[in-house]
Amino acid sequence: MAFFTGGFVVLPLTVLEKSLNKEVTLLLKDDRILKGKLVGYDDYMNMVLEGTEETQGDQVRRIGTVILRGNNVVTIVPK
Amino acid sequence: MAFFTGGFVVLPLTVLEKSLNKEVTLLLKDDRILKGKLVGYDDYMNMVLEGTEETQGDQVRRIGTVILRGNNVVTIVPK
Amino acid sequence: MAFFTGGFVVLPLTVLEKSLNKEVTLLLKDDRILKGKLVGYDDYMNMVLEGTEETQGDQVRRIGTVILRGNNVVTIVPK
Amino acid sequence: MAFFTGGFVVLPLTVLEKSLNKEVTLLLKDDRILKGKLVGYDDYMNMVLEGTEETQGDQVRRIGTVILRGNNVVTIVPK
Amino acid sequence: MAFFTGGFVVLPLTVLEKSLNKEVTLLLKDDRILKGKLVGYDDYMNMVLEGTEETQGDQVRRIGTVILRGNNVVTIVPK
Amino acid sequence: MAFFTGGFVVLPLTVLEKSLNKEVTLLLKDDRILKGKLVGYDDYMNMVLEGTEETQGDQVRRIGTVILRGNNVVTIVPK
Amino acid sequence: MAFFTGGFVVLPLTVLEKSLNKEVTLLLKDDRILKGKLVGYDDYMNMVLEGTEETQGDQVRRIGTVILRGNNVVTIVPK
């Protein structure tokens, strides 16, 4: 239940949907950062990224397609 | 079920709703602080912030639009 | 299901309700202490405090209105 | 579903109920100990204690009435 | 849904039931060990022990009747 | 919902079922290893082992029958 | 509820399904890495791998068939 009070409520899943096929940056609970094109997600905020680059401290790795469990995600930053 | 006993019960989601399009400060479980305009949320207290500034220790970063998973949030302070 | 056996069972949410518009002290899982007037809550024990004072170690900060996620709360002490 | 096989199954909530208005000792996940008169509980084992004494290491504090979130409790020892 | 394939599936709750009024040893997530007579349980594996002995490192304490929240339990060893 | 696309999807619970009465090796979240004959399980992957051997670092202990809470399990390796 | 807006939403479970009988690399919460052929999964992202190789720091072990609890998984990288 999201209230409408003359303004707009943007549902988080709607922002995810608008980010489809665009680059997003995910911060995970273990401090890793994943950057990649968001190609999918579900209601639990499980996500699918393509062309993913993983950053952990100084280390950067290209890991391609990734399925990510939503409960490991802290923040999602659309480009 | 929130009881009404002659006074008022303010539901937490109602306060979120009243904070829409206003600045909020979020304290996350990992001690990061996010400040930004609240533009959206859902029943799980997932939120969408715009113009977000992230503070972690001494570091401040501008990260723009952020989708935040509600289960990482400790407190929400509306401006 | 709470049993009644000649005495009374006080439901925790009822105590919250009776604490409305009174000062409560919350101990959070991360050892911070929040003191403020309880103006709202919901069934998940998400709460809304006003005139909140946050204590963390030696540091005390006034943070005004706070929405607090219930799963971060350990104990609630009504005044 | 608790099975009965000629003996008795005591449901944990029944023991809580029998402990109403008696002193109980709660061990919390963060190693604090709460002692007080159990005056209420609900199905999630959220509890209400009165005349509560909190022990943390060497420190003992009297904190009066406490609402306790059940998911912080490890063991409950009725007197 | 537990499958039967010519052999037997023993449901964990059935083993608990068969352990009623017998001594069990519980290992908790915080490494404490509880030994006592199992007199009750529910579907969440909350349990009631009587004549309980708690071992934590070198320390052994007799704590009598204990209600134990199931989500703190790692393993249950019936005698 | 598991999809079938010309190949087979093996449900994890089906593999558990096929492992009944065989030796399995469980890795727990606290790094302990349990080896024993799987005699039961339920839909939460709570399990019952018999003739269990527990390994923790260098220490090996025979602990016989064990009921194991599924949420402590990381991996299950059937023999 | 996944929205379709002229583009495609790829559900995470669909990517898992397409990875069936192919090698996947799983990163677990405890930093272990499992590589193996994905032969099964369920809606909780519990998975079954075959021919699994486990890497933990410098150590690599072949562990064959593995049932993996989904809540221990951070990322899944299909080959």
Residue A7 has a pLDDT of 56
What distance in Å separates the CA atoms of residue A38 and residue A48, rounded to the nearest whole number?
6
Report the pLDDT averaged over residues E13-28. Answer: 96
Check: CB of residue F35 under 8 Å from CB of residue F55: yes
What pLDDT, in 10s, does the model give residues B59-78?
999 999 999 999 999 999 99
Please check whether residue A29 lies inside any domain of the structure: yes
Please check whether residue F1 lies inside any domain of the structure: no
Three-state SS for F55?
strand
Chain D residues with beta carbon closer than 8 angstroms to that of E20? 5, 7-9
Report the predicted TM-score, pTM, of the whole model to 2 decimal places.
0.87
Q: Which is higher by pLDDT, F4 or G41?
A: G41
Q: What is the ipTM of this complex?
A: 0.86
Residue D53 has a pLDDT of 97
CA G62, G65, G71, G74 dihedral sign is positive
Asked if B74 has any chain C CB less than 8 Å from its own CB, the reply is yes
Report the pLDDT averaged over residues C35-56. Answer: 96
Check: CB of residue A40 under 8 Å from CB of residue A24: no
Please check whether residue F70 lies inside any domain of the structure: yes
Contacting residues for C71 by C-beta, under 8 A, at least 6 apart: B71, C44, D69, D71
In one-letter notation, the amino acid at residue F14 is T
Residue C59 has a pLDDT of 95
- Chains touching F, CB cut-off 8 Å, 3+ pairs: E, G
Residue from G62, G61, G60, G32 nearest G50 by CA: G62
Report the pLDDT averaged over residues G10-39. Answer: 96
Phi, psi of D67 (to 5 degrees): -100, 130
Chain E residues with beta carbon closer than 8 angstroms to that of F13? 1, 3
Report the pLDDT averaged over residues G5-28. Answer: 88
Instruction: Name the stretches of chain B with pLDDT < 50.
Output: 1-6
Please check whether residue G63 lies inside any domain of the structure: yes
C-alpha dihedral, B69 to B70 to B71 to B74, nearest 10°: 120
- Cα D23 from chain centroid (whole Å): 9
Segment holding A46, helix H or strand E = none
Residue B79 has a pLDDT of 87
Q: Which two tokens stand for residue B1?
A: 């079920």
Report the pLDDT averaged over residues G49-65. Answer: 96
Please check whether residue G61 lies inside any domain of the structure: yes
* Terminal CA-CA length for chain B: 28
Q: Which two tokens stand for residue C21?
A: 């518009």
Nearest to E75 among F13, F43, F68 (CB): F68
Best of A75, A76, A77, A79 to disrupt the B interface (most B CBs within 10 Å) is: A75
Please check whether residue F59 lies inside any domain of the structure: yes
Q: Is residue C2 pLDDT above 70, yes or no?
A: no
Q: Which two tokens stand for residue D34?
A: 């709460």
What domain count does chain C have? 1
Best of G4, G30, G75, G79 to disrupt the A interface (most A CBs within 10 Å) is: G75
E50: domain CATH number is: 2.30.30.100
Check: CB of residue A33 under 8 Å from CB of residue A26: yes
Please check whether residue B19 lies inside any domain of the structure: yes
Write down the mean pLDDT value for chain B. 91
Strand partners, A60: A55
Residue C71: exposure state from Cβ atoms within 10 A (0-12, 13-18, ≥19): middle
* Helices assigned H by DSSP within chain C: 12-18
Report the pLDDT averaged over residues A31-55. Answer: 96
Segment holding A40, helix H or strand E = strand A33-41
Asked if D20 has any chain C CB less than 8 Å from its own CB, the reply is yes
Q: Which is higher by pLDDT, G7 or C14?
A: C14
Residue D42 has a pLDDT of 95
Give Cα separations from A58 to A55, G27, G55 (angstroms).
7, 19, 21
Q: Is residue G2 pLDDT above 80, yes or no?
A: no
What pLDDT, in 10s, does the model give residues A15-40?
999 999 999 999 999 999 999 999 99
pLDDT-based confidence at G9, cuts 50/70/90? Answer: confident
pLDDT-based confidence at G7, cuts 50/70/90? Answer: low
Q: Is residue G66 pLDDT above 70, yes or no?
A: yes
Interface contact B16-C71, CB threshold 8 A? no
Check: CB of residue C29 under 8 Å from CB of residue D69: no
CA neighbours closer than 13 Å in the CB half-sphere of residue E65: 15
Interface contact F63-E74, CB threshold 8 A? no
Strand partners, A66: A49
What distance in Å separates the CA atoms of residue C5 and residue C8, rounded to the nearest whole number?
7
What distance in Å separates the CA atoms of residue A54 and residue A77, rounded to the nearest whole number?
15
Chain A residues with beta carbon closer than 8 angstroms to that of B69? 45, 70-71, 73-75
Chain F residues with beta carbon closer than 8 angstroms to that of G72? 29, 74-75
Structural domain including C57 reads: 12-78
What distance in Å separates the CA atoms of residue E28 and residue G61, rounded to the nearest whole number?
29
Phi, psi of G12 (to 5 degrees): -50, -40
pLDDT-based confidence at C7, cuts 50/70/90? Answer: low
Residue A1 has a pLDDT of 39
Write down the mean pLDDT value for chain G. 91
Contacting residues for A29 by C-beta, under 8 A, at least 6 apart: A72, A73, A74, B30, B72
Nearest CA in chain B to C62: B77
In one-letter notation, the amino acid at residue E43 is D
Residue A22 has a pLDDT of 96
Segment holding B8, helix H or strand E = none
Write down the mean pLDDT value for chain E. 91
Instruction: Name the stretches of chain D with pLDDT < 50.
Output: 1-6
Residue F1 has a pLDDT of 39
Please check whether residue E5 lies inside any domain of the structure: no
Percentage, residues of chain C above pLDDT 90: 86
What distance in Å separates the CA atoms of residue B4 and residue C14, rounded to the nearest whole number?
11
Residue F7 has a pLDDT of 56
What pLDDT, in 10s, does the model give residues F20-74?
999 999 999 999 999 999 999 999 999 999 999 999 999 999 999 999 999 999 9
